[in-house]
Amino acid sequence: MTAQDQALQTKYYTTKILSTETDSKCRLCQQFDETIDHIISACPTLAKEQYTKTHDRVCAQHFNIRKERRVQLDKKHWYEHVPKSVETSQGSKVTISWNKQVQTDRAIPNNKPDIIIHDNEKGTCMLIDVAISGDRNVIKKVAEKILKHKDLTIEIHCMWKVKTRVIPVITGVTRTISKLFRKYVSSIPGNHEVEELQKTAILGTAHILQKVLT
């Protein structure tokens, strides 16, 4: 992908490399240099909508989790699926939460993972947090997600008396993943194709680049 080579004609590229422009600031936010990394993962203007759309498409694994845990499906295909805040399986054995704050006994600032799977029968709880990161920051972002939810993990373990862990699902905007990515994804209930998650991220990236640069 051309973006991986940083060869697209961003304002930074045309100013610093081609010398055909004098202003390298982002055409959208006007705050930072308009580099490829800035456009695809760090622009505050794009963060309001475009990054969220790509993030939520990667979170489509919510559909596969529901299917695996036998929660009633209201759509046939994952791309038609709109997650509900809280859903339970038959017999209330499993509760799946989407983008929902966890009510805790003490104040926990980071209390809203993307997906929570509370399995009453097995006595386990998964806190799944998804991010589409700049390729250079994938490893850093994995560590950040685990640290971010450390207090919530401890609090849920104490409140619900379940074994709790964080599952960071981090993919780079141009398909970069950590060495542990496949292990993390394989631990999530359901059939999740790593290549599909990567494809979703890169299609979102291509859409953003096209929107900004054309």
Q: Could you read off the pLDDT of 156-212 as tens digits, one per residue?
A: 999 999 999 999 999 998 889 999 999 999 999 988 889 989 998 999 999 999 999
3-state secondary structure string, the chain?
CHHHHCCCCCHHHHHHCCCCCCCCECCCCCCCECCHHHHHHCCHHHHCCHHHHHHHHHCCHHHHHHHHCCCCCCCCCHHHCCCCCEEECHHHCEEEEECCCCCCCCCCCCCCCCEEEEECCCCEEEEEEEEEECHHHHHHHHHHHHHHCHHHHHHHHHHHCCEEEEEEEEEECCCCECCCHHHHHHCCCCCCCHHHHHHHHHHHHHHHHHHHHC
Mean pLDDT of the 104-111 span: 94
What's the pLDDT score for residue 173? 85
What's the pLDDT score for residue 174? 84
Whether the predicted pLDDT of 97 surpasses 60:
yes
What's the pLDDT score for residue 175? 86
- Report pTM: 0.85
> What residue segments make up the domains of the chain, in order of their start?
2-48, 59-193
Whether the predicted pLDDT of 56 surpasses 80:
yes
